[in-house]
Each structure stands twice: as C-alpha cells, then as structure tokens.
Amino acid sequence: MEFTAEQIAGLINGEIHGFSGVTVNTLAKIEEGHSGALSFLSNPKYEEFIYTTQSSICIVNRSFHPSKDLPETLTLIKVDDAYQCFAKLLELYSQLNKKAPVIESPSFVSESARIGEDVYIGAFVYIGKNVTVADAVQIYPNCYIGDNVRIGKGTILHPGVSVYHDCILGEDCIIHAGTVIGADGFGFAPDANGVFHKVPQIGNVVIENNVEIGSNTTIDRATMGSTRIKTGVKIDNLCQIAHNVEVGDNSALAAQVGVAGSAKIGERVMVGGQAGISGHLHIADDTKIVAQSGIPSSVKKADTLMGSPGIPLEDFKKSYFGFRKLPFILSKLQELEKKVKELTRDDEPN
C-alpha cells in the first residue's frame, strides 16, 4: 500500500517540510533508505545519514535543524517525538499485514471448542477439547492448543507455539515461534536410594493481558496453583520460567534469563541477559539485575545488582577495580617477601 506524506503527517500530528504528495510504500533504516521508503531520525549519532539518504520521507524531531543541505528528493515530517511516532507507524503497518480470518486446511478443531469472530487459524493447527478462542485471535501454522485452554481477544500465536492443557492466555498477547507454555515443572523427589520419582504437576500457567514472549521460551506449569505472568510483562527469546513463578506487572526479562521455581519477581523489574534467579525468593519492585548476574537470595529493596552473587552496582565496580589490580598487588607482595627474606638473612648471626 502507498501513503502520502500528508496522510502520514495526519496520523502522527506532524508538520511537513517538502512535498506533501510524495508517496512511500515501505519502511527502511535511514542509512539504507531508497526511493519510496519511509525512515526516521531520533538519535543524533545517525544524523550524518540524513544528508545522503535516498529515502523519500524521514520523520524527525521538531528540534531538528539541518546543518547542511538535505537531498532534494527528501521530505521531512517534524513531530514531538520521532521515535515514538515511528513506533506508532510500525504498529499500524503491522496491523495492515494481519492475516485475514480463515481456518486453513488441514487443521483440527475440536467440536467442543468455541471459536470467536475474525479468527485466523493456520494449517496444521491442533485445537483440543473445550478450548475457547476469543475474537480477532491469530494462530499461525503448526501450533498446538491443549484441552481447556483459553485465549483472549487479539492474541497472536506465531508458528510452532505449544500451549498445554488448562493454561490461560489474556488479551493482546504476542507469543513468538517455538515457545512452550505449560510444560511440566521440573519436579522430582529422590527416594532412599537416590532414584528420582516424578512429582505430578497439576497446576497451569496464567498469562495476563498485553504480554509479549519471545521465541523458544519455556514457561512451566505450576505443581499446584498457577505460574503467573502478569500484565504488560515482556520476556525475550530463550528464557526459562520455572513452576509457580510469578512475574509482576510491566517487568522485562532479556534473553536466556533463568528463573527457578516459586520465585516471585516484583513489578517493573528489569533483568539482563543470562541472569539467573534462584527459587523461593522475592525480588522487590523496580529492581534492576545486570546481565549474567546471579541472585541467590531475596532482594528486599529496589537496587541495581551485578555479579554472582549479585551485589549493588557501585560495590561491584569498586570490587572489580580491586580485582583488576590483583596482578600488580601480587607482584608487589612477591617483592616484599623477597626483601623480608633478604633482611632476615642479614640479621642472622655469622
């Protein structure tokens, strides 16, 4: 589809500098722009590219004033926040690319399943007994939806997502390819001989509204009760959320984060990539955990933690400064030991 600068400016309350009738039909980074493309500039580090870009339209902040001539083919749309406005356009672009409502064949939908209006169900999808799929849901090919699952309005399941029985997904969630929701928690009890016996996992997973979960993430069902991902949570690719975990509203977990069983993560917590959180502890609201940190005990007050075990960031920086000086300190210590030995020999009687 093509859009004019005038149409785009109307959507984002922008001010046009250039030709209002110029059209675009795709999006591109400013450094990779070409004729017919729409780009944006918000970070000053990329300003150099606006003077050479081939994009037809570029969204910029109202505060932007070019320091040299712009390409004659470039039209600017000035807005209060270029990044936010471009994100809004990306969302609109994504909506335009939504799948048309249809149940593709072959797929299996149980007779007892309840399917809402404007639903897309791709080929090779399995939908089990008593499943509820609300309006405007999109389920891409090769997904598995177990018995008694409930999926809220507007939620999107990308290819190959598996949702085990009895789990609940809220409204406007996005679950990316390969994610598994509701597999058994890692529950085993050793007997007197050290042989592990499986503990049945009879709970479920509850994902609230406006949650996004990246590709190949796993969220285990609770032993009893629910593993719960609360409203607005964002989870990256390749994360592991164990049984009975709770992740509070609007928290964000980056790639390869692991959260052990029954941990309770507060609201607005940010966890960097490859961090690990031990089980049965609580992370206070607004805590920040730096990438590759390990958290072995509860965090009672919001802080920025780094290291393993995680300690306050400023303490970690001081400790690391000392660690980096260890080779120098060891060298000086060896010199002192040598001098002490020499002095000791000089003091010995002949």
What digits encode the pLDDT tens for the residues 173-219?
Answer: 999 999 999 999 999 999 999 999 999 999 999 999 999 999 999 99
pLDDT value at residue 346: 65
Which of 312, 242, 249, 251 is CA-nearest to residue 277? 242
Residue 348 has pLDDT above 90, yes or no: no
Mean of per-residue pLDDT scores for the chain: 95
Please identify every residue annotated as catalytic. 243
Let me know: does 163 contact 144? Beta carbons within 8 Å: yes
For the stretch 127-166, pLDDT in tens is: 999 999 999 999 999 999 999 999 999 999 999 999 999 9
User: From residue 283, how far is each of 154, 237, 242, 279, 280 by CA, in Å?
Assistant: 31, 21, 15, 11, 10
Let me know: does 284 contact 302? Beta carbons within 8 Å: yes
The kind and range of the H/E element at 167 are none
Cβ neighbours for 60, distance < 8 A, ≥ 6 positions apart? 40, 41, 42, 50, 76, 77, 78, 79, 82
CATH number of 3-96: 3.40.1390.10
The kind and range of the H/E element at 9 are helix 5-12
Instruction: Kindly report the pTM of this predicted structure.
Output: 0.85
What's the average model confidence in pLDDT over 40-64? 96
Confidence class of residue 350 from pLDDT cuts 50, 70 and 90?
low
1 compared with 263, residue with greater pLDDT: 263
Cβ count near 225 (within 10 Å): 15
Burial letters 111-143, b for 16+ CB under 10 A, else e: eebebeeebbbbebbbbbeebbbbebbbbbebb
For the stretch 58-110, pLDDT in tens is: 999 999 999 999 999 999 999 999 999 999 998 888 777 788 999 999 999 99
Cβ neighbours for 327, distance < 8 A, ≥ 6 positions apart? none
d(CA 88, CA 94): 10
For the stretch 296-341, pLDDT in tens is: 999 999 999 999 999 998 888 888 888 888 888 888 889 898 888 8
Radius of gyration of the chain (CA): 28
d(CA 204, CA 168): 8
Residue 342 has pLDDT above 90, yes or no: no
d(CA 9, CA 1): 16
d(CA 275, CA 290): 7
Phi-psi region of 7 (alpha: psi -120 to 50; beta: other; left: phi over 0): alpha
pLDDT value at residue 322: 83
Confidence class of residue 44 from pLDDT cuts 50, 70 and 90?
very high
Confidence class of residue 293 from pLDDT cuts 50, 70 and 90?
very high
Cβ neighbours for 111, distance < 8 A, ≥ 6 positions apart? none
102-313 adopts what CATH topology? UDP N-Acetylglucosamine Acyltransferase; domain 1 (2.160.10)
